[in-house]
Amino acid sequence: MLNQTIGKIKPLDQDAMDAVQDRQNNLTKPAGSLGRLEEVSIQLAGIFRDPMPKIKNKVIITMAGDHGVATAGVSAYPQEVTSQMVLNFLKGGAAINALAGHVGARITVVDMGVAFEFEPHPDLVDKKIAKGTQNMLEGPAMTREQAEAAVMAGIQVVTVEIEKGLDIVGTGDMGIGNTTSSAVIAAVLTGEHPSKIAGRGTGVDDEGFARKINAIDTALSINKPDPKDGLDILAKVGGFEIGGLIGVILGAAAYNKAVMVDGFTSTAAAMIAVSMAPEVKSYLISAHRSQEYGHQLMLEWLGLDPIIDLNFRLGEGTGAALGISIAEAACKVLSEMATFAEAGVSSKEE
């Protein structure tokens, strides 16, 4: 299933993109004057294979999982916050609930590996691989089989959402300790020293930040992830929710759907997805620049320029929700503005 999904990811439709570029050049404005909105509309046309792209069905997939490394004091919050926040998502009380509602997106909450047994809930998708990963400071976070199962679970989740109706998917995460895991992933793939990648995550103090840097160094030296093998990276230093997001990204691209990438942890997942299937990069839109220290380096590695910068460092899919709103605006500008000829306005050439 994984290889079949990767095999379906094709280059964007150049004819559709050329048609949008031509229309943008003839809308009643100076060419290029709407900047990123124009660029996003062109990219969406290539993804959807449609010279008049539209966004109607918007979904945020927020995946949750616990990390064994949380026991090393790398977070300002205790591990049980992961399960408590999942329950908050289901009650509608989190930031992502407010922002998803604001942009008209539905939320899919997925238990990929929370160290808690939830009661069955109609709005919670159960894809639990295990009750949290192992402590990557003592060895691999998971087995390779678990890593592949997590990615495949993500593909399954997004496929179900596509069947319900999905044009664009925003990636979201919840997991105490996952910025440490994400920083290790980024260090592996960029080759940068952990001190240039790691941030303060949930807001750890100086001592906690020092523990975090040390934990990243230790995880790298003990596990030696192979930067040329995405599943090896995920298995050794990743998280179940990160694996699920990798699957969401790959699955969405395979079905010609756009992916709005949230912040630090979502970007780490995107990096592994691109390492596994380079063509997937064309389907990614970076929603925002996280306040996490190394996020810019990660974006540069991916070759992505974020749409907004609001000093976010929350996750959940919050930045992705706002990014989806901008992508929708890009489509509306393309379809609802008149051309010079349609409006009877003299163009520059005239």
- Give me the residues paired with residue 259 across strands: 169, 284
Q: 144: how many CB neighbours lie within 10 A of its CB?
A: 14
Amino acid letter, 54: K
Contact by Cβ (8 Å): 123, 90: yes
Cα 329 from Cα 145, distance rounded (Å): 41
Contact by Cβ (8 Å): 243, 144: no
Element (H, E) at 65: strand 58-65
Residues shown for the chain = 350
List the Cα angle 60/2/260 in 5-degree steps.
25
- Give me the residues paired with residue 169 across strands: 59, 259
Element (H, E) at 170: strand 168-174
Residue 200's nearest CA partner among 112, 291, 113 is 291
Contact by Cβ (8 Å): 20, 12: no
Cα distances (angstroms) measured from residue 217 to each of 197, 204, 293, 323:
11, 17, 16, 33
Catalytic entry in 148, 292, 316, 328: 316
Cα distances (angstroms) measured from residue 274 to each of 6, 135, 249, 302, 312:
10, 26, 9, 8, 24
Cα 334 from Cα 76, distance rounded (Å): 45
Cα 256 from Cα 44, distance rounded (Å): 10
Q: 106: how many CB neighbours lie within 10 A of its CB?
A: 16
Query: Annotated catalytic, 316?
Result: yes
Residues with catalytic roles: 316
